[in-house]
Amino acid sequence: MDDLIKAYNSTSYNVFKPKISIIIGQNNPKVDMLLEKYKCTEWAYITAHNPFSYVLTDKENLERHKQLKILIRNYTSFEGEGVGTDPDWKPERSLLILGISQKDAVKLGVKFQQNAIVVGRLKEVARLVLLEEVNN
């Protein structure tokens, strides 16, 4: 799990439009601007791809992404992808979800069998939340 945590901490959690790159442990003024624009105080960055880091086909991952989008349809969200430093690991399509509580974001992460999600609050740093304890 330590290697996975290292990988997650060095991943760039990108949003396509507006162009944003979220880094664990850093505050992001662009995310803060979005939060203020949409009158939110918290956010999460979640993927439905590759449950428990088991690589699925593109088709399976796309279907899981569609399911995630349906579940968060009542939130403001932005498409993106998490890009790690390992060139062998394909970027994972993801969503920046505004206004979602950490508790609800954790539930989504668990539902889609993720090892971790990224969360944050207005004017605070992005944080990695490990779901290992929740998944067991």
* Cα-based angle 6, 45, 118 (whole degrees, multiple of 5): 40
> Which tens digit of pLDDT belongs to each residue from 21-57?
999 999 999 999 999 999 999 999 999 999 999 999 9
Q: Which domain holds residue 31?
A: 2-135
As for how many domains the chain has, the answer is 1
Q: Is the dihedral of CA 46, 50, 52, 53 positive or negative?
A: negative
pLDDT of 128 higher than 90:
yes
Tokens at residue 12, please? 């760039």
* Closest residue by Cα to residue 126 from 48, 46, 68, 45: 45
Distance CA 15, CA 5 (A): 21
